[in-house]
Amino acid sequence: MCGRFALLTHAETLIQRFGVEKVIKRPEPRYNIAPSQNVTVVVQRENFQLTEMRWGLVPFWAKDVSIGNRMINTRGETLAEKPAFRSAFKKHRCLVLADGFYEWQKVGKIKVPTHIRMKNREPFAFAGLYEYWKTKSGQMLESCTIITTTPNELMKPIHHRMPVILSPEDEKKWLNPENQDMEQLLSLLKPYNPELMEAYEVSDFVNSPANQGPLCTQPVGTILLDFTEEPSEQSSNV
């Protein structure tokens, strides 16, 4: 799953990297993004737009916004079959922007917070879906979910699921609302290349969503997991 992530990349870099043509909401750096908070997304409407949506998808037919708390993630293997996601998969696909995410690795009886990012420190995009929901006051709420898949070799020791990170060449295919090739779209929902990623232990400071700041991403000791390198003597004793 994906239950916490970070986005520290400067807005201008994100605009250039993702080909944004219209900025609706400019993001601020955030170290510890949690469910029910707003997240930065790119959508394709009349052009490529950078905006914010609530994290936790609220289907258009929902009676209450709280349903979104159970829909922060959806499994890529079944999303085309589930009523909550079927419509969004066809018409409302988005990129949820990040430059790192957190997972808690079970070590004995404790859970060790781990930060996962690209080796080149570049921002990336989770495959996401979004929906519109009308509040009782008549306002429109936009909300989203992050799609998950089976873990790659880097993630297997950490968790049994991982978020779908789209390859840069696949991002526009995913966003294009005219693309109704469901088979092709489903084929994009695969584990990311582990050789491009790295993971390391961070402080349990990140455990609380209320905590922000550099301590969230600061390594504890050395890199714990690197798919392309042999574990160091120090990291193997963590």
Our CA dihedral for 90, 95, 101, 104, rounded to 10 degrees, sits at -10
Work out whether the CA dihedral 80, 82, 87, 93 comes out positive or negative: negative
Catalytic residue among 94, 103, 142, 171: 103
103 catalytic residue (yes or no) = yes
The DSSP-derived string for the chain is: ----EEE-S-HHHHHHHTT--EESS----EEEE-TTSEEEEEEESSSEEEEEEEES---TT-S-GGGGGG-SEEETTTTTT-HHHHHHHHH-EEEEEESEEEEEEEETTEEEEEEEEETT---EEEEEEEEEEE-TTSPEEEEEEEEEE---TTTTTT-S-EEPBPPGGGHHHHH-TT---HHHHHHT-S---GGGEEEEEE-GGGGSTT--SGGGT-EEEEEEE-TTSPPPTTGGG-
Contact by Cβ (8 Å): 209, 195: no
216 catalytic residue (yes or no) = no
Please list the active-site residues. 2, 103
